[in-house]
Copies of this chain bind each other. A is one copy, B any other.
Amino acid sequence: MDSLTALNQFRAQVEIFVPLTEAEWQVLKSYLEIIVLKKKKNLAEPGKVCNYLTLVAKGAVRYFHIKDGEEITGYFSFENEFASSYKSFLTRQSAINYVQALEDTILVSFSYNNLQQAYADELIGHKMERMCRLIAEHYLICCEDRIASFVTQTPEERYNKLLETGGEVLQRIPQHYVANFLGITPVSLSRIRRRIMKISA
């Protein structure tokens, strides 16, 4: 994938939230950077401030914490989803988690400084605010849904729901990462899968 394709993909994604004129896009584009992240390389890591807010144009990233020396995977971002250690990016504090490429990945990115300039830009500032408001609202809703799933559903129910919605997660991601994502251990997920197989068989 070349830079042009990646940038066009970014444009298509943000225009879902706010349509842009050609002139606006040309300005917006000037604040963007392409980041190529080889598999297992980090976009963010604990102790460092995450300097990029990115859209995954190709590939995927995985979010994880280290607890008692073990990796615990909390989330993934696939093509056309935004990726960042968001709290770190916004607050300029050290990240507490890794954001790592699961595959060779191409990211269309705002550096922190460029994004602030884009907000301050006379031509596109207002639209940038709106766009990023809508994007933040979109992800806030996603987070609220996920919190609700932890509060109101059992791990088995969460896994069944994941099966229904047919998440890409299930095809592209090792099961033990999915287990963490569901808030359980890999062994426990394996047992849940066996339980479900017996019922449907």
Chain A interface (Cβ < 8 Å from any Cβ of B): 65, 67, 72-75, 86-87, 90-91, 97, 119, 125-126, 129-130, 132-133, 136-137, 139-141, 143-148, 150-152, 180-181, 183
Contact = CB atoms under 8 A, between A and B. Distances in A.
B141 A139 contact: no
23 contacts: A65-B151, A72-B151, A74-B147, A74-B152, A75-B147, A86-B137, A87-B141, A87-B145, A126-B129, A129-B129, A129-B130, A133-B133, A136-B137, A136-B140, A139-B140, A140-B143, A143-B143, A143-B144, A146-B147, A147-B150, A150-B150, A151-B180, A151-B183
A144 B86 contact: yes
Contact of A137 (B90, B119, B144): B90
Most buried by B among A67, A73, A97, A129: A129
A126 B67 CA distance: 42
A77 to B, nearest CB: 13
A193 to B, nearest CB: 19
Contacts of A130: 119, 129, 133
A22 to B, nearest CB: 22
Contacts of A87: 141, 144-145
